Structure formats: structure tokens, C-alpha cells
Amino acid sequence: MISIEKFEIFGREIWIAVVFEEKIDGITFSLDGYKHLMERTNSLKAFLERRKVSVNLVEEKTDYPKIVYNVLIGRIENEDVLEFLSFRGVTPFERKVYEILTKKIKRGSVITYGELARMLSTSPRAIGNAMQRNPYPIIIPCHRVVLKSGLGNYTPKREYKQFLLEVEGVKGWTS
């Protein structure tokens, strides 16, 4: 199933789509309209299916997009929503990275790939790969992981990472 809703934040529309069965299997969002959201949704569906998670994109209205939005605007802590995530199709390593990131790096903060790698006794490249494969953006705050010299990459656009950090009040990494 999929639940889609449009919100406004900082004078911009944000479309949020949540793919779910019993729990959330994936999240995607767009600052570039509904058509772009559907492109992102198809990419998410393909990603989940490669990971052996069956996806049915029949629309059903739920509170899931509103929950994601409330995390984005700071009404709900990221950590408090972990229980809604299925973690189906996520490797044990990825889950460990996502849970540590979500519990330790709070709204308004950032951490470098290297610092997070040291926390988990792994490499910055492994952290970057896990961030790139995050099926739960906004809830699992991969946007809070940055290069020591700047923002770093973000799927689908670096501008989205900058926007998310600005919404969270992070100034130093967004200029």
C-alpha cells in the first residue's frame, strides 16, 4: 500500500509518500511536485523489490505521511518513530547504522561520515553506502551525515539535504 500527502513548509510544497504493509517499508518525498514524487516512488519500489520486499502501490489514506511530516518539523523525535519501521530488506549492518544515527544524532546536529564510522568501527565508505540505501529518509536522518568539508551527496538532490538541514535549524553546513 502507499499513502501520499502534500504539506507546506518554509513556503514550499513537500509531497510525502509512505510505502507500507503492516509497518513502514519505505518513504520518499519530493520538493519538485507530484510527478517527481511518482518517479521517486517507482525508484523506491524497485529498490525494495530488489531487496525481496513485495510492494503493492494501491493508495490507502493513513497517518504515516503526517507522522513523517511531524518528524520533519520537530513535533515528533525521529527515535520515537523507529517502532513504525519494518526494516524489511535492510541488512543487519544497515539497521545498526540507522538506529545509532537516529538515536545519537539529534535534530539540529550533524556528524561526519568519518565520525559515524568511528562510532561503529567501520569505514566512512560503508557509512556512505548505508546512507545511500536508506529507505526511510527524514525518519532515519541520513541528511545529518556530512563530509568534513561540506554537505556531501544526497539522493535525489543535494538541494534536498540542504533544505532538510535548514528546516532543522542547521546553519553552518547549509550556506
Catalytic amino acids?
A: 142
Query: What is the spatial distance between Cα 121 and Cα 83, in angstroms, rounded to a whole number?
Result: 25
DSSP one-letter code for 173 = T
- Phi–psi pair at 139, nearest 5 degrees: -65, -55
In this structure, what is the dihedral angle of CA atoms 82, 88, 92, 95, given to the nearest 10 degrees? Answer: -30
CB atoms under 10 Å from CB of 117, counted, come to 19
Instruction: Judge whether 168 and 107 are in contact, CB under 8 Å.
Output: yes
